Amino acid sequence: MTTEHMPGLASETIGIWVAAGSRDESRETAGSTHFLEHMLFKGTATKDARTIAAAFDKTGGDSNAITAKELTCYYSRCLVTDLADITSLLVDMVSNSNLDAEEFARERGVIIEELAMSADDPGDVLFDDFDELIFGDHPLARPVGATKDQIRMLDHNTLLEHYSSTYVPPRLVIAAAGGATHDEVVTMVEEALNEANSGSGPRSWAESTGADASAGGADADGRGARETPTFHSGRSHTYKDNEQLGILLGCEGLEEGHEDRFIYSVLLTMLGGGMSSRLFQSVREDRGLAYAVSCMASQFTDFGTFGIYAGCAPENGQSVVDLALAEWDRLAQEEPSRAELDAIVSQLSGSMVLGLESSAARMNRLARSEIFGVPLESPLDLIERVRSVTSAQVSAMAGQLMERPKSLSLVGPTTDIALP
């Protein structure tokens, strides 16, 4: 458990994190992690779905859940005065979920509709296609929510087994940030855990009721062995009758917590991280070839990807790809000026500090630090790490990435685009 006190704040964001995601599923259990995210809102031993929904809504805050490839989180932002009730509710959901068979059958249809909605979103399709292309047969290649066919085939008993093997210490982490003090949050959590342990549900938090319990064990023996992926180069094209062509061009990047992550952040921002970035200025402002163009990065415990995204008219696709590669190579060949570097450092410093004024962002940072084992640094330390980045380091990293095998995913009308 980890908390951060933000004096003067009347709200608190608390989340229960599971150090497992879709990556930790097998072919047989694919979709279980996301399905569980839905099911935990459907009732516990003492509360039905309507009661849970009403309890969250009456706080006037923000409550939801997310499933990712290596993480699952159930969270709520509420007034500090409501924190005890919300903490109890979240712990009850994770500990004593009914996972009722009738609710499971009903929710299957809802999830299939959610997947259908995602399939209609060209952006979602593009990023899923890119992962499938570069990861091959690795679990990271699968969409977080699995496919409609896999959800149709998922068995209720399979879901129960996945829950029993996954939602247990040391995978579970509780993180909170906001106006409540550490001792206040610990007391609320311990009361909620004691209440959950006395219930009829299958979960026991006995191993993690202490105030100092952390996810250190989750890395060591909670997740089990994970196979490190290998980057696959190539090209894919999903044909859709859209107005625009979606483009995602990328290579292997840096994993979560890499020692060069601050150089990486500067590079991403300089190349495609805002309106003044090189890609935005070159592709959009100077030539008017696309409305959206930016850099992206996905980071996992043992792997990462670097990419350039753009959406443009099909006839402009090759020009956009060529320009993106040219700007990338220019950064590799020519060190950025001191003025450009200073501007990026200022941009990153400002965004980091402003972002950490949010209790949700701080809660997220605390949890990820615990789960991924990344040292938790103060805002001033983060700024100093960014300021220490040199132009030579940025240029060298751009060159290292440029030399790596690349993949290109396209979603949209028929067009002929090649990687030079």
Contact criterion met (CB below 8 Å) for 34 and 111: yes
Output the pLDDT for position 216.
36
Nearest to 13 by CA among 359, 366, 368, 370: 359
Quote the tokens at residue 166.
């996954």
Output the pLDDT for position 209.
39
In this prediction the pTM is 0.91
Q: Catalytic site residues?
A: 37
Tokens 């330390």 identify what position?
Answer: 381
Output the pLDDT for position 208.
44
Query: CA torsion, points 164, 184, 372, 364, in degrees to nearest 10?
Result: 100
User: What gap in Å lies between CA 379 and CA 386, rounded to an integer?
Assistant: 11
Quote the tokens at residue 89.
């509710």
Nearest to 159 by CA among 30, 47, 17, 22: 30
Q: Cα 27 vs. chain centroid, distance in angstroms? A: 21
Amino acid at 365: R
* Domain with residues 2-222, CATH architecture: 2-Layer Sandwich (3.30)
Contact criterion met (CB below 8 Å) for 269 and 347: yes
Burial of 102 (0-12, 13-18, 19+ CB in 10 A): exposed
Residues of the chain within CATH 3.30.830.10 domain(s) are 2-222, 234-412
Q: What is the pLDDT along the chain (420 residues), one digit of tens a residue?
A: 999 999 999 999 999 999 999 999 998 899 999 999 999 999 999 999 999 999 999 999 899 999 999 999 999 999 999 999 999 999 999 999 999 999 999 999 999 999 999 999 999 999 999 999 999 999 999 999 999 999 999 999 999 999 999 998 889 999 999 999 999 999 999 999 998 876 544 455 554 433 343 333 334 434 457 899 999 999 999 999 999 999 999 999 999 999 999 999 999 999 999 999 999 999 999 999 999 999 999 999 999 999 999 999 999 999 999 999 999 999 999 999 999 999 999 999 999 899 889 999 999 999 999 999 888 988 899 999 999 999 999 999 999 999 999 999 999 998 889 877
Is the dihedral angle over the CA atoms 321, 327, 332, 333 positive or is it negative? positive
Burial of 418 (0-12, 13-18, 19+ CB in 10 A): exposed
- Fold classified for 234-412: Cytochrome Bc1 Complex; Chain A, domain 1 (3.30.830)
* Residue 419: strand, helix, or coil: coil
Half-sphere exposure of 218 (CA within 13 A, CB side): 31
